[in-house]
Structure formats: C-alpha cells, structure tokens
C-alpha cells in the first residue's frame, strides 16, 4: 500500500516537479538528490521512513563470491564520488556501483551535458567522467568505515574505474592501476569501464589486445594484493559492439580470469527516440533508457550464452518486466539508472517482487 503511494506519488507528483525544478536542468536536480540522500543517510528517522516505504521482499543471491541481498543494483554514474554511498540501501537497492572515478580528478565536459528525452523514456549524457578522483573516493569511503566485505554500507558496493581524460590511451594501464590501488580496499568488486562513449579513445580499450593487457594487469594486481581472496573484477561493455567484437571481449575477459561482465553501457545509436525527442539525436553522448532496452537484452543474451562468467545486465530496465527479461536471457543481476529517474524507487520494489 505504502509502496503504491510511493510509486504513483513519484510518477504523478514528484517527477513532474523534479523535471521542472532548477530551471529544468537535470544535472542540478541530480546534485540536489545526491546531497539529500547523503543527509538522509545520517538521519535515523528519515532512514527508517525510506526503508519502510521502499521495503520489498527479495531473495539473496551469490555472484562472483559476493552475497547480494537481491538482484537490483544502482548502475554506475549516479553516485560518481560516493557521496550517497550509505544511502542506497535505504531505497531498496541490493548493491550500488560507485564511480566512474579516474586516477586524476577532472571536471568532465562543459554543461549542459545531460538531456532528458521524456517522450522516449530516455536520457542522453556526455558527462565525461566528471569526478573528484579515486583518492577522494577512497578517503570518503574510509571515513565512512566502508571496507571490502565489512557490510558497512548495508549492501555490496562496486567501484567503477575509467581512464583520466588527459592520459593517452597507450598509458591507460598505469592509469587504471593507480585508481585500482587506491580504491580496492573499499570495493566489494571493481568494474572496469572501457565503454563510456564520452572519453575520446576509451572504447578502443575494448579491442582484444588492448583489453587483454588491461584486464590482465588488473587481475594480476588483485591477486598480488590478496592472493587468497582477490577482489572480483568485472568489465563493462558497450551495446554498440558487434558479435565478433563481443567474442574478442569474452576471449580477453576469460584469459584474464575476470569475475564477470556488465552489459551494457549507453549507446551511440539514436534509434527509438520519439519524434518530439528527435532533436536530441544531434547532441553528442550516450543514449540510455527505453530506446536501449531491446539492444541491451540482445547483448546480455549473447554474452551470457557465450561464457560461463556471470553477467550483470544494465540498459533500459524501465519496468519489472524489463528486468525479468534480462534475467531470463541469462543475467545474474540487473542495474538501473534511467528507470530510476523515470519511475523512482518504487521500480526497485516492483522488480524485487517480480523476480523473487
């Protein structure tokens, strides 16, 4: 009952307000939300209320040696600097992927850099890894008492790593390793982001040879640091890869003994935009949400069908049915970003109920 109120309340009342707030600038609203959530995590009464209104029964699942309390997580990019790391549990998420952070702090692209495609249920973004750097995230998590496996955030936390923009692609391995060394003590898993369309050259790291070198370096470092129990490393892929390219990725991932894949990131395609959102086709960046649903499902299905590695499905999960269909084609877990913006926290509970 309370959940239905939260669901319809969000879609009918809060979302229209949020979409108009701050002069209609999605990024300012996003910053306010992260600030509010970081405060919420400090207020016992607010925490309890949030927990109560988003509560749903979910079944725990073990993936890559990590115990997840349910199957729905927060996708990377929402909480780049981990400011709300302690809050996501109260909205019903079973895990959250912080970041993407880079070894050097960087401002990202010029604003505006997020655009809503409301008729299409989509977003176009070209944030460009704006973040305060891996060291700032590591410090924030340390101060919050979050260390790998200690459950201090209530749910497992992954940390997504990307390449610093000013670092040449040829020097990417050292750059990722620098971030890895800083954040690994605080991460239940590491996600290697080589699939954002907004850092020039980044996606070339998905090519077989380059990817094998990068993933090999990271998994080797993970074993050097904790031979008995290395931190699981996942690699996140783009939906725009061909099946041949996905085969290459799978080869590199298997050779490097990564723990799993995340499919997919945002797409460069502009298919699926409603006529009233067509003007966004000319904005540079990655498209997410409803226009990505079908392609993400196809890629998740392909990847899951061609490897024994676990797959985290991400892309266009706007309803509980979308989540179920990613799980049906082989995903072990799902993540949401754009669906959370359009449907609010009630989406998490309805997925939990659908897939339990």
Ligand X SMILES: Cc1cc2nc3c(=O)[nH]c(=O)nc-3n(C[C@H](O)[C@H](O)[C@H](O)COP(=O)(O)O)c2cc1C
Of the candidate spans 179-187, 216-224, 273-281, 288-296, the one that interacts with ligand X by CB under 6 A turns out to be 288-296
Binding mask 220-259 for ligand X (x = CB under 6 A): ----------------x-----------------------
**End-to-end C-alpha distance for the chain, whole angstroms:** 19
The DSSP output letter for 112 is P
Q: By the 8 A CB rule, do 251 and 229 touch?
A: no
CA distance 309 to 189: 15
Secondary structure E strands in the chain: 61-63, 66-68, 72-74, 95-101, 114-117, 122-125, 157-161, 189-193, 233-237, 260-263, 286-289, 311-314, 333-336
CA distance 226 to 315: 32
Binding mask 119-138 for ligand X (x = CB under 6 A): ----x-x-x-----------
Task: Assess 102 for contact with ligand X (CB under 6 A).
Answer: no
- By CB under 6 A, name the one of 120, 259, 325, 338 that touches ligand X: 338
- By CB under 6 A, name the one of 7, 77, 108, 345 that touches ligand X: 77
Binding mask 8-37 for ligand X (x = CB under 6 A): ------------------------------
- By CB under 6 A, name the one of 102, 109, 160, 164 that touches ligand X: 160
Q: How far is CA 141 from CA 166, 218, 337, in A?
A: 26, 21, 22
Task: Assess 95 for contact with ligand X (CB under 6 A).
Answer: no
Task: Assess 347 for contact with ligand X (CB under 6 A).
Answer: no
Q: In the complex, what is the shortest distance from the CB of residue 315 to ligand X, in angstroms, rounded to a whole number?
A: 4
Nearer to ligand X by C-beta: 58 or 125? 125
Phi (first) and psi of residue 123, to 5 degrees: -135, 145
Task: Assess 351 for contact with ligand X (CB under 6 A).
Answer: no
CA distance 356 to 351: 8
Number of Cα atoms under 13 Å in the Cβ half of residue 204: 9
Q: Which residues inside 49-68 make contact with ligand X, applying CB under 6 A? A: none
The DSSP output letter for 201 is T
Q: By the 8 A CB rule, do 253 and 218 touch?
A: no
196 catalytic residue (yes or no): yes
Say which of 58, 120, 195, 196 is annotated catalytic.
196
Of the candidate spans 12-20, 139-147, 223-231, 308-316, the one that interacts with ligand X by CB under 6 A turns out to be 308-316
Active site residues: 196
Give residues in contact with ligand X (CB under 6 A). Answer: 75-77, 80, 100, 114, 123, 125, 127, 160, 193, 196, 236, 265-266, 288-289, 292, 314-317, 336-339
């Amino acid at each position: 009952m309370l959940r239905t109120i939260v669901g319809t309340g969000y879609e009918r009342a809060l979302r229209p307000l949020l979409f108009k707030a701050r002069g209609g600038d999605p990024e300012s609203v996003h910053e306010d939300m992260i600030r509010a959530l970081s405060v919420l995590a400090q207020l016992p009464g607010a925490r309890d209320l949030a927990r109560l209104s988003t509560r749903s029964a979910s079944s725990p699942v073990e993936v890559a040696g990590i115990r997840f309390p349910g199957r729905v997580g927060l996708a990377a990019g929402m909480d780049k600097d981990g400011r709300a790391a302690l809050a996501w549990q109260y909205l019903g998420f079973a895990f959250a992927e912080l970041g993407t952070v880079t070894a050097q702090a960087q401002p990202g692209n010029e604003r505006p850099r997020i655009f809503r495609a409301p008729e299409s249920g989509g977003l176009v973004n070209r944030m460009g890894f704006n973040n305060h750097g891996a060291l700032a995230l590591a410090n924030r998590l340390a101060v919050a008492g979050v260390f790998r496996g200690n459950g201090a955030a209530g749910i497992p936390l992954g940390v997504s790593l990307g390449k610093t923009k000013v670092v040449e692609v040829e020097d990417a391995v050292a750059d990722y390793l620098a971030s890895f060394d800083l954040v690994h003590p605080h991460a239940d898993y590491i996600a290697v982001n080589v699939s954002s369309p907004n850092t020039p050259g980044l996606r070339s790291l998905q090519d077989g040879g380059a990817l094998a070198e990068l993933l090999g370096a990271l998994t080797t470092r993970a074993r050097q640091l904790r031979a008995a129990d290395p931190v699981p490393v996942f690699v996140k892929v783009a939906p725009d890869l061909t099946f041949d390219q996905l085969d290459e990725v799978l080869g590199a991932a298997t050779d490097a003994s990564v723990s799993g894949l995340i499919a997919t990131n945002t797409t460069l395609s502009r298919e699926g935009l409603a006529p009233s959102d067509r003007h966004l086709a000319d904005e540079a960046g990655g498209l997410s949400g409803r226009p990505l649903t079908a392609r993400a499902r196809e890629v998740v299905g392909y990847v899951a069908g061609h490897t024994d590695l676990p797959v985290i499905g991400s892309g266009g999960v706007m309803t509980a049915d979308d989540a179920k269909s990613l799980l049906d084609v082989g995903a072990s877990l799902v993540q949401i970003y754009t669906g959370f913006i359009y449907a609010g926290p009630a989406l998490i509970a309805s997925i939990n109920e659908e897939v339990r």
